[in-house]
Structure 1
Amino acid sequence: MSPTATPYVATQLRGLIYYHLDNDLIQNALFLAGRLHGLEPRSADAAHLLALCNFRMGRLKAAYEYSRDKAMKGQHLGCAYVFAQACLGLGRAGDGISALDKSRGLWGGRNHWNKHSETSRRHLPDAAAVNCLLGKLWRAHNDVTKAIGCYVEALKLNPFMWDAFTELCDTGAAIRPSNVFKITPEMSAYLAASSMLGPDSPPANEDAPPQSTAGPNGIFTPGADPFNSTMRQNGEGGSKFGVPNLFSRAGISLPKSNATRGLDAETPVANGGLHDDDVMMGEGGGKPLSRVPSAEPPQAPVRRSRQPPSLTDSAIDVPRMKSITTRSRGKSGSETDAPEPTKPAVNGAQKRSISGHTSQANINASTDPSSQPRRSHRLMQSVQDQFRPSGSRTTTISSREAEAKEREKREAKRAKLPTAAKGRSAAAGGVGRVISGNRKPVQEQAAVVTESAKEREALQWLLDLFAKIGNGHFQLSRFRCQNAVQAFSEIPLSSRETPWVLAQIGKAHYERGAYAEAEEVFAKIKKMAPSRMEDMEVYSTVLWHLKNEIELAYLAHELMEADRLSPQAWCAIGNSFSLQREHDQAIKCFKRATQLDPTFAYAFTLQGHEHVANEEYDKAQQAYRCAVSADPRHYNGWYGLGRVYEKMGKYEMAEKHYKAAAHINPTNAVLIVCIGVVLEKTRKPQLALAQYTIACELDPRSALARFKKARALMNVRNAKEALAELEILKDIAPDEANVHFMLGRLYKMMHDKTAAIRHFTIALNLDPKAAQYIKEAMESLEDDDEDDWDDDDDDAT
């Protein structure tokens, strides 16, 4: 192969690689990328494609190695982006951050919003995508502040960056979803530009602009980006063909010069010049600048100006009239003095005004955007005439002499017509026809405005939908479960009845302790999407709380059949063993889940719970620490550590970890109760009573909070309020033996022996196993009441 053919071979290989990548034939793409890298071992594009194929196949280490050299130099955005993604998966966040920072000049001003469609795409990321990845890297690097900043920047550039929004919520940042999901200035600029163009002319930032040229592989290079302010600084887009600001005021990007376009026929490098810094894949290169009918009637000769020698036919993109036919040329040359009869315009394609200039009826809105028909038409006609090539005439005389003769012929024809005919011709064929023909541009302009309004309405509807879903997710991330359920209920039915939204509703019910409602929602999800694995660990925990062994075992079996390598399936099996009190088997299952996904914090927490059940507090402590290390905002891990310290008698450490969990989830009544319990054990009854009161306010139906508050009130000798709390608790849990036993002791303290004996008897009937303790309390009715209560005698669940 000759050396001059190497670039063409590389171009073919790149096109084939993108073909296989777009069709998800990664193995084929990887093989071709190997050939390209062998052909161009020093090419950054070849290294990028080889690393990308390896990354798509899950070979993170290989992607890391192939892209490292080019990425760390900061000279290729594609290599830097793939390298950073591999670093995130390999736990090398620092290297990924360094590579993206070094290449900041390559992605800082890029915005690809509305440049991706079914037929075109950009294979390099824009600033929003890079900022989102940087946020994930900073979070993995344990720098939440910088991560939040990156997520915010990503959402400012593209509010549809949902991943950035969810990550921002998970960091605990205070945000307003209504301020996030709104039309950005770039979107407004695009909509404004599209409303000022004709129906046949795409906006300046369309996916496949008309100035793009296609190579043999169907790879198109993008034109000027209207969102990039540097384009005007380099002299692009100021005027069109020397007409000052005729289109630039409308924000329309213009074709590049012929010399520049000739360089884009071959696939450019990823970080080439200003106008070819990315590759846009497409089928047809987008809509043409104008749609000229294929069959057009011959047009009358018009005045021509000399063509500038620096321009060629390929540099002119405005619509052109067809060349004069042989018949018309012969007629013009032989019938100089003969009058031409007045004829109506053929198919309405050609009209003549009073001044003698012709007007086209099929000039589309992209070349005549003005609503003033006569002035704008003459202006555009003069521009077209100025740059129209004169090579269609085959006479031997000069172009100036030919134009003079044509002008003389037109004047002679007008002079030989009768006066009435001239008047009728001027009135009917000139002014009247021009006015009637100008109705079409007005209608087209109205259609463009209507289309733009529909686009804005659709965009606003999408943003409103995202705002509602985002508000629900944000409320759930703050554990405001009732608010989250209410927010999700406001979503349109078509979006609400989807697995993801229903899963969020189910988790909201689970967090607030409404296990029956949560089970109903998750069962609906399972029926709707049988193969869904996400959030199924929560469903298994819901079934564990409901003590539904059969459904839990069936769920575990289904999840294992769907994907035996998913941590959710192993968590479901572990919960099933735990419900059967086979704690050792459950621990093995939870360990397997953490091996499959070391960042799955909930599996570490469940493993810690099982170690606590086996009274293996050291192992439990280690499991909980792994949970909070994987996710610092996983409040269950902090709760587990507090529970271990409480079991070990380290109440101050227990209080510290319980408060850490309550800081993350301040609406959980159980966490507040746990704080109150350790305060009671450290002889701080008033502080404990305050915590129990807060817990009752958070969850008025919490039996545990009511029971603990009633006992604290009895400890401080506030019998009246304690009786009121126990009466409420009796309505909440009428069959709970501990409630009636507590009422018996309260009535004993109030010296109401009859009521005390009645409640002691009810407690004895409800829990015969506690007969020894209940009988001792009945026999001691004549004794003075003790000053304190024993925790072991009257715990409630």
Structure 2
Amino acid sequence: MQLSPDEHSNFSLARFESMLKTNSVLFFDSEEFEEIVHHYLENGKIALAKKATKLGLEQHPTSINLKLYLIEMYIFENKLELAEELLDVLAQLEQSNEEIYIQKANIFSRRDNHEEAVRLLEEALKITNDPADVLSLMGMEYLFMDDFEHAKLFFIRCLEEDLEDYSALFNVIYCFEYLEQYEEAIEYLTEYLDNNPYCGIAWLQLGKQYYKLKEYKKALAAYDFAIISDDSFIGAYLEKGRVLEKLKRYEEAIESYSITLGLDDPTSYAFLRIGKSYEKLGNTELALQFYTKCVEEDGLLDKGWIAITDFYFKSQQYQKALYYIEKAISIDAENVAYWKRYAKINNRLKHFEEAEVGYRKALELGNYELESWLTRGDILTNLGEYEAAVNNFNQALEFYPRNAEIEYRLSGLYFSLREGSKGEFYLKNALNSEPEYLMIIEEIFPLVFRMKKVKQIIAQHKNPSL
């Protein structure tokens, strides 16, 4: 009985693995070795691929394809000189082998010489029987050069050769989006769908372009077509849920997200969005249930912890909000959004020292929002840590120079520290910039506001003739 190609390939693979286990030597023809090496490379088993290539070349030392596989592995291991030497030998033997040009291009690409890689791929394109692969490689080289216009054109040419190369389709859309050519992306996808009307991926991408343009009803129609093309397309149901939320059709959004829970293992994102939708509908009990499921499913999804923390914060249940944000920080102590919330919650609870720590951590992690500098400085002021508050506001001025809200505070602090000349300097700056913010001094530094010198500076500002 004759074996089918797949059965033959599996039989060869089983024989080869049996040979390795028994340490015996069996004969395989060169095509069998090529299939075995290809299988291992496809599955990321590089060591076994190298073993098969070595044994294959021992039995078939003139096999060009096995030598090309060896070159591919040299390149993967960054042994570019070895790969180049072997390629030069093969180039003398096989002038018209496209794979030689492709692997040479790969070497130049690894060396960041993408222009030369493109030139070599152009040579491969002249002789190849499979232009789609070469065109896709050329598109990738232009992506490496940040030349998105040329990359886009080559991926489009690739799709003209192979309509179902979805990797090229994703890359085309990536180029359109990077160039912010959303209308052009819609035009291209519409033409593509004329030729491939049941491509769910293309319908999904079309919906995403409409979503970016805030044309939500058109986006919804595109997602529905994606689902018609493939009723188990999880991505389409999730995107449909997003757009239904935008249209404030929360019950339908919940239905769309819920379908995904039965199609595959539940995702934390679906739980989160269902929780958000229930919260919008005012169903707090179910919202909390799904937020809890979200963080149980994926403790690393910060949006889940933020959602449940914000829920309790908005309902003024600050102790519960603090409990959840502390759990989140215990999982990821480098998350700025967690520390900002930790600071705000502790501030509401009048745990000022903990609040100051939260704002300090947020600032150290790169959250340089004005509010963070101001609130931390005010907390330090209230704690009597005037020197630390001054340092905080001086740092803030580096990010927000001549900011009146900062300068009024520095003025009050310097007067409190009996550094009158610095206090005068910042008070005059602030009055010249934003006189209406004078209440900052009055509210935060009432004793300073009543000082004779401060009263004189304010009066002179109001009436320069005094």
Question: TM-score, with normalisation over the residues of structure 2?
Answer: 0.50
Question: TM-score, with normalisation over the residues of structure 1?
Answer: 0.32
Comparing both chains, which one has the higher relative contact order based on Cα–Cα distances under 8 Å and sequence gaps of 6 or more? Answer: 1
Who wins on radius of gyration, i.e. which is larger? 1
